[in-house]
Amino acid sequence: MTVLYINPESSALVHAAAAAVLYLHIGAGSVGLLSGVAAFVARKGSQAHRLAGKVFVVSMLIMSGIGACVAPFLPTPERASVIAGILTFYLVLSSWMAVKRKPGQIDRFDYGLLLTSLSLSAAAAFFIGLASQSPGGKLDGQPAEAFVMFVLIGSLAAVGDLRLILRRGVSGATRIARHLWRMTVALFIAANALFLGQPQVFPKALRSSGLLFVPALLILALLLFWLAHTAWGAHRRKRASRAMLKH
């Protein structure tokens, strides 16, 4: 596992602070994954769902914030981890705001979100170019393909942010979908960071079995299910409303 390099001659306080940051990052990530699963399992709108969601937001913001801040100062700076951390922080925060704010409202914060998503997409695309031009086809040990996912997610998020601004806010199924996909993709990134990014923490038999890909695939399957469920529910409500108007 990659950790901060601390000069052996540094004071005990510096070593303790570095250890605290590391364990806080790991602990917050673990709590984020567990609370994310709990939010999925709990009935939507229930007290358990709201509680799990609040824990998820706080823990994921801590985990991603630490990751984004620490990655540039590792023995080998990891620009992919910087992008992943900022993107996860952005997704969780924008998802939380989608349900925290009243429907059909926007403010300057939303313009900041659009600027962030556009900047993340541009930075990831720039890093793809750097990796492609390097002799080994890699950047900080990561192939150019590793940044493609960030371009796609950032671009999709930017489209959603622009749409929200042009429509002066979102409501109904669109608001729920915005909340849902952003929270789930943040969970997907966190799961990949653990199961695929740190495979050495798992037994060798598990690493060679291919099962470490299962959590990410399961999260994506759940995302597709809930998006379809939300869209179907909105369609049923529209049909019921039209039927009532006819009568």
pLDDT, tens only, 5-37: 565 666 777 667 777 888 898 899 999 999 998
Place of tokens 């706080």: 58
Place of tokens 């009532």: 244
Instruction: Tell me which of 93 and 169 has the higher pLDDT.
Output: 93
Distance between first and last Cα of the chain: 65
Residue 23's pLDDT is: 85
- Return the bridge partners of 139, or none: 142
In the chain, what percentage of residues exceed pLDDT 70?
88
Do residues 97 and 109 make contact, with C-beta atoms less than 8 angstroms apart? Answer: yes
In the chain, what percentage of residues exceed pLDDT 90?
42
Q: Mean pLDDT across the chain, nearest whole number?
A: 85
Residue 95's pLDDT is: 94
Average pLDDT over residues 75-91: 89
Domain spans, the chain: 77-236
Average pLDDT over residues 206-232: 83
Residue 65 has pLDDT above 90, yes or no: yes
pLDDT in tens, 34-54: 999 898 888 877 899 899 999
pLDDT in tens, 151-209: 999 999 999 999 999 998 888 888 888 999 999 999 999 998 888 877 777 788 887 88
Residue 3's pLDDT is: 54
Average pLDDT over residues 204-233: 83
Question: Residue 242 — very low, low, confident or very high, per pLDDT cuts 50/70/90?
Answer: low
Detail the DSSP E strand segments found in the chain.
138-139, 142-143
Q: How many CB atoms lie within 10 A of CB 126?
A: 13
Q: 3-class SS at 142? A: strand
Q: Which amino acid is at 149?
A: M
